[in-house]
A and B are shown apart, each in its own frame.
Chain A
Amino acid sequence: MIVEPCSLTIAEARELLDRRELSAVELTRSCLDRIAAHDGRLNAFITVCREAALAQAAEADARMVGGAGGPLCGIPLALKDIFLTRGVRTTCASRILDGFVPPFDATVVAKLRAAGAVFLSKANLDEFAMGSSTENSAFGPTRNPYDLDRVAGGSSGGSAAAVAANQCLGALGTDTGGSIREPASFCGVVGIKPTYSRVSRYGVIAYASSLDQVGPFARTVRDCAVLLQAIAGVDPRDATCAARPVPDYAGALTGEIKGLRIGVPREYFIEGMAPAVDGAVRAALRQFEALGGRLEEVSLPHTEYAVATYYVLATAEASANLARYDGIRYGLRVAADNNIELYERTRGAGFGAEVKRRIMLGTFALSAGYYDAYYLKAQKVRTLIRRDFARAFERCDVIATPVAPTTAFAIGEKIADPLQMYLSDIFTISVNLAGLPGISVPCGYDDRGLPIGLQLIGAPFAEETILRAADAYERSGATVRRPPII
Chain B
Amino acid sequence: MASETAMAAENYEAVIGLEVHAHLATQSKLFCGCANSFGAGPNENVCPVCMAMPGVLPVLNRDAVELAIRMGLAAHCAIARESIFARKSYFYPDLPKGYQISMYERPLCVGGYVEIEANGERRRIRLVRIHMEEDAGKNIHEDGTSLVDFNRSGVPLVEIVSEPDIRSAAEAAAYLRELRALLRYTGASEARMEEGNLRCDVNVSVRPRGVEQFGTKTEIKNLNSIRFVEKAIAHEVARQIDILEAGGRIMQETHLWDPVREETRPMRSKEFANDYRYFPEPDLPPLRVTPEWIESIRVALPELPAARRERYVNALGLSRYEAAILTEEREVGDYFESVAAGLRNAKTAANWVMTEVLRVVNETGKPLAHAVPSARETGALLAMVEDGAISLNAAKTAFMAMCQSGKPAATIVRELGLAQVSDEAAIAEACDQIIETHLRKVGEYRAGRDKLFGFFVGAVMKAMGGRANPRLVNEILKRKLDQ
By a CB distance below 8 angstroms, the chain A residues around B317 are none
B92 within 8 A of A: yes
List which B170-187 residues lie within 8 A (CB) of chain A: none
B284 within 8 A of A: yes
Given contacts A209-B283, A326-B98, A329-B96, contact A100 B91 (CB under 8 A): no
Type the 1/0 row for B73-97, where 1 means its CB is closer than 8 Å to any CB of A. 0000000000000010101110011
List which A348-388 residues lie within 8 A (CB) of chain B: 363, 366-368, 371, 375
List which B17-69 residues lie within 8 A (CB) of chain A: 48, 51-60
Cα(A17)–Cα(B173), bound, Å: 75
Q: Which residue of B lies closest to A203 (CB)?
A: B55
By a CB distance below 8 angstroms, the chain A residues around B277 are 319-320, 363, 366-368, 371
By a CB distance below 8 angstroms, the chain B residues around A240 are 57, 282-285
By a CB distance below 8 angstroms, the chain A residues around B283 are 206, 209, 239-240
Given contacts A239-B60, A239-B283, A323-B91, contact A104 B48 (CB under 8 A): yes
A193 within 8 A of B: no
Type the 1/0 row for A205-243, where 1 means its CB is closer than 8 Å to any CB of B. 110111000000000000000000000000011111000
Cα(A211)–Cα(B397), bound, Å: 73
A254 within 8 A of B: no
By a CB distance below 8 angstroms, the chain A residues around B275 are 367-368
A92 within 8 A of B: yes
What are 27 A-B contacts defined by CB distance under 8 Å?
A: A92-B54, A97-B54, A102-B54, A202-B55, A202-B57, A203-B55, A203-B56, A204-B55, A205-B55, A208-B282, A209-B283, A237-B57, A239-B59, A239-B285, A240-B285, A317-B282, A320-B98, A324-B96, A325-B54, A326-B93, A329-B52, A329-B53, A339-B92, A366-B277, A367-B277, A368-B275, A371-B279
Given contacts A367-B277, A368-B275, A375-B279, contact A320 B48 (CB under 8 A): no
Type the 1/0 row for B93-137, where 1 means its CB is closer than 8 Å to any CB of A. 100111100000000000000000000000000000000000000
Given contacts A320-B279, A328-B148, contact A236 B54 (CB under 8 A): no
Q: Which residue of B lies closest to A92 (CB)?
A: B54
By a CB distance below 8 angstroms, the chain A residues around B285 are 239-240
B55 touches A106 (CB 8 A): yes
Q: Which residue of B lies closest to A347 (CB)?
A: B91
Q: Which residue of B lies closest to A323 (CB)?
A: B98
Partner of B53 from A201, A238, A330 at Cβ < 8 Å: A330
A320 touches B53 (CB 8 A): no
Given contacts A205-B55, A239-B283, A329-B52, contact A320 B91 (CB under 8 A): no
B59 touches A237 (CB 8 A): yes
A461 within 8 A of B: no
Cα(A220)–Cα(B56), bound, Å: 32
Given contacts A320-B277, A328-B148, A366-B279, contact A201 B57 (CB under 8 A): yes
Q: Is the interface of B mostly helix, strand, loop or mixed?
A: loop
Q: Is the interface of A mostly helix, strand, loop or mixed?
A: loop
A contact set with B: CB distance below 8 Å: 83-84, 90, 92, 97, 100, 102-104, 106, 201-206, 208-210, 236-240, 316-317, 319-320, 322-326, 328-330, 339-340, 343, 363, 366-368, 371, 375
B contact set with A: CB distance below 8 Å: 48, 51-60, 87, 89, 91-93, 96-99, 148, 275, 277-279, 282-285
A326 touches B60 (CB 8 A): no
Q: Which residue of A lies closest to B91 (CB)?
A: A343
| Additional A-B contact list (14), CB under 8 Å, known A103-B48, A326-B91 | A84-B53, A102-B53, A205-B55, A206-B54, A206-B283, A237-B57, A322-B98, A323-B89, A323-B97, A323-B99, A328-B148, A329-B53, A329-B96, A363-B277
How many Å from the CB of A126 to the closest CB on chain B? 16
How many Å from the CB of A371 to the closest CB on chain B? 7
How many Å from the CB of A195 to the closest CB on chain B? 15
Partner of B54 from A239, A320, A324, A343 at Cβ < 8 Å: A324
By a CB distance below 8 angstroms, the chain B residues around A208 are 282
Cα(A90)–Cα(B55), bound, Å: 11
Partner of A238 from B57, B60, B87, B278 at Cβ < 8 Å: B57
* 10 nearest A-B pairs in the assembled complex, by CB-CB distance: A323-B98, A366-B277, A209-B282, A210-B282, A205-B54, A203-B55, A324-B52, A368-B275, A205-B55, A84-B55
How many Å from the CB of B190 to the closest CB on chain A? 28
A320 touches B89 (CB 8 A): yes
Partner of B59 from A92, A104, A236, A316 at Cβ < 8 Å: A236
A328 touches B93 (CB 8 A): yes
Q: Which residue of A lies closest to B94 (CB)?
A: A328
Cα(A2)–Cα(B432), bound, Å: 131
Cα(A375)–Cα(B278), bound, Å: 11
By a CB distance below 8 angstroms, the chain B residues around A328 are 93, 96, 148
Among the interface residues A237, A323, A326, A366, which one has the most CB atoms of the partner chain B within 10 A?
Answer: A323
Cα(A326)–Cα(B99), bound, Å: 12
By a CB distance below 8 angstroms, the chain A residues around B92 are 339
A202 touches B56 (CB 8 A): yes
How many Å from the CB of B376 to the closest CB on chain A? 47
Cα(A236)–Cα(B97), bound, Å: 21
Cα(A324)–Cα(B92), bound, Å: 10
